[in-house]
């Protein structure tokens, strides 16, 4: 179906009749808001670096030691709290990537690339007792063997580059390899493998166990037939093997799930993939593996489609997808999983047929604007609500 080209006002008038839907998260909204706070109507607050502010955060995660770390993407830094914050606007305790909380030093703090510098950090996750961070525009992933408990702590290991001072795409080579990266946006550790969504190379790499050497090559690849290809959708039309913009990975029961934002879908593999280029077993967001239009070619969404799903996570019996450009979250339970299945529940919109940043209204505790990254901590869903310059700690209903 051809996408609508109506002006926005006309599209709103012609919006399909809303259908009721169950809300995934508690209706009152986020329990805690970090970064930009809800302001009175019409008030605009400039984004000024501090221990309390965020600028386009794209990732946040609870670590094994109970600390919360946020990739404050627009400020090219990481912010850390010793425990999950209990109050709105609680200032961060630790900082990595800039000389101080009030300094917006730019990419790599306007200095050389190093073990504690950052250039557009996005994905972040626990890895064993430490953490991994996707340092996108330095084309690398940084790993700390232990979660830092102080500011400016340098990383212990780098993937995608041979050392901490290099930052070239695919290490300056014309083609990728098992040890190079190009815009790595997502990281995920499942207790046995480290997965990296290597978006610029249109692939997901995995390492068996926690890497121990700088620049260690990956053990396997999804989305390409081998380590040396980087063509969009494998150089052909979308199918069960190919990827366009892979951004996030998670495990949900026996399934490995990956958000393929550029193809407006989530791919799922039953069990841990064992072969390079292994085809996915299931797809959500599209009726089959060959389709890739956003919202399945329609202007307004429904319960079974996406518009650039950048984030995925699992919590309890829920697989949750950040349907980023529709400014909503969608949820499936294990029994729902078949190709093209509609979501059971959502958050951020009133129903499945609505979209719009902050519901085309004023920002609130229960609205979203381009949520990029999501993770889970018990019953809390940690949402990098990037367009609102904030991170939400929002509890699921069950």
- Counts of helices then strands in the chain (DSSP H, E): 1, 25
Q: Which residue pairs from 13-18 have beta carbons closer than 8 angstroms and sit at least 24 positions apart in sequence?
A: 15/300, 15/353, 15/354, 16/300, 16/353, 17/353, 18/350, 18/351, 18/353, 18/354
Q: In 72-167, which residue ranges form alpha helices assigned H by DSSP?
A: none
Q: What is the CATH number of domain 8-395?
A: 2.120.10.30
**pLDDT range class, residue 86, cuts 50, 70, 90:** very high
pLDDT above 60 for 17: no
Q: How far does the chain reach from its first CA to its final CA, in angstroms? A: 36
Q: What is the torsional sign of CA 145, 79, 252, 394? A: positive
pLDDT above 70 for 8: no
pLDDT above 80 for 21: no
Phi, psi of 181, rounded to the nearest 5 degrees: -140, 155
Q: Cα–Cα distance between 224 and 232 in angstroms, integer?
A: 9
pLDDT above 70 for 14: no
What integer best gives the mean pLDDT of the chain? Answer: 94
For residue 23, give both structure tokens: 């809300």
For the stretch 351-397, pLDDT in tens is 999 999 999 999 999 999 999 999 999 999 999 999 999 999 999 99
Which of 6-20, 47-61, 129-143 has the lowest average pLDDT?
6-20
pLDDT above 90 for 1: no
Mean local confidence (pLDDT), 111-140: 98
Q: In the chain, which residue ranges form alpha helices assigned H by DSSP?
A: 8-13
Residue 49 burial (C-beta neighbours within 10 Å; 0-12, 13-18, 19+): buried
Predicted confidence at residue 266, as pLDDT, reads 98
For the stretch 315-352, pLDDT in tens is 999 999 999 999 999 999 999 999 999 999 999 999 99
Predicted confidence at residue 41, as pLDDT, reads 79
Predicted confidence at residue 398, as pLDDT, reads 82
Among 390, 398, 353, 329, CA closest to 34: 390
Q: What is the CA radius of gyration of the chain?
A: 20
Domain spans, the chain = 8-395
Mean local confidence (pLDDT), 266-281: 97
For the stretch 216-269, pLDDT in tens is 999 999 999 999 999 999 999 999 999 999 999 999 999 999 999 999 999 999
Among 193, 41, 172, CA closest to 128: 193
What percent of the chain is modeled with pLDDT above 90? 91
For the stretch 141-186, pLDDT in tens is 999 999 999 999 999 999 999 999 999 999 999 999 999 999 999 9
Mean local confidence (pLDDT), 271-282: 97
Q: Comparing 9 with 138, which gets the higher pLDDT? A: 138
Predicted confidence at residue 3, as pLDDT, reads 33
pLDDT above 60 for 19: no
């Amino acid at each position: 179906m051809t996408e609508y080209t109506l002006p926005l006002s006309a599209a709103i008038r012609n919006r399909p009749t809303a259908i009721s839907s169950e809300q995934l998260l508690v209706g009152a909204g986020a329990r805690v808001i970090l970064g930009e706070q809800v302001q009175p109507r019409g008030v605009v607050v400039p984004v000024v670096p501090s221990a309390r502010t965020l600028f386009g955060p794209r990732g946040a995660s609870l670590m094994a030691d109970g600390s919360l770390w946020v990739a404050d993407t627009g400020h090219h830094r990481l912010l850390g709290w010793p425990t999950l914050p209990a109050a709105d606007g609680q200032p961060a305790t630790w900082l990595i990537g800039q000389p101080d909380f009030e300094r917006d030093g730019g990419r790599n703090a306007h200095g050389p690339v190093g073990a504690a510098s950052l250039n557009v950090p996005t994905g972040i996750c626990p890895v064993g007792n430490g953490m991994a961070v996707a340092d996108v525009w330095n084309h690398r992933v940084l790993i700390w063997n232990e979660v830092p408990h102080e500011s400016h702590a340098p990383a212990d290991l780098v993937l995608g580059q041979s050392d901490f001072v290099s930052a070239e795409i695919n290490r300056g080579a014309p083609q990728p390899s098992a040890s190079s990266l190009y815009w790595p946006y997502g990281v995920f550790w499942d207790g046995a493998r480290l997965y990296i969504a290597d978006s610029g190379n249109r692939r997901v790499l995995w390492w068996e166990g926690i890497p121990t050497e700088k620049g260690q090559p990956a053990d396997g690849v999804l989305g390409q037939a081998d380590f040396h290809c980087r063509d969009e959708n494998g150089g052909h039309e979308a199918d069960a093997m190919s990827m366009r913009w892979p951004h996030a990975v998670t495990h949900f029961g026996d399934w490995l799930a990956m958000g393929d934002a550029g193809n407006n879908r989530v791919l799922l593999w039953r069990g841990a993939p064992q072969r390079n280029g292994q085809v996915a077993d299931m797809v959500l967001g599209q009726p089959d593996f060959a389709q890739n239009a956003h919202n399945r070619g329609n202007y307004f969404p429904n319960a079974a489609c996406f518009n650039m799903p950048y984030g995925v996570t699992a919590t309890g019996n829920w697989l949750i997808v950040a349907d980023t450009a529709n400014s909503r979250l969608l949820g499936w339970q294990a029994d729902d999983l078949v190709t093209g299945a509609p979501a059971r529940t959502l958050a951020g919109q009133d129903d499945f047929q609505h979209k719009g940043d902050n519901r085309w209204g004023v920002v609130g505790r229960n609205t979203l604007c381009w949520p990029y990254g999501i993770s889970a901590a018990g019953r809390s869903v940690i949402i990098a609500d990037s367009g609102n310059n904030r991170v939400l700690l929002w509890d699921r209903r069950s």
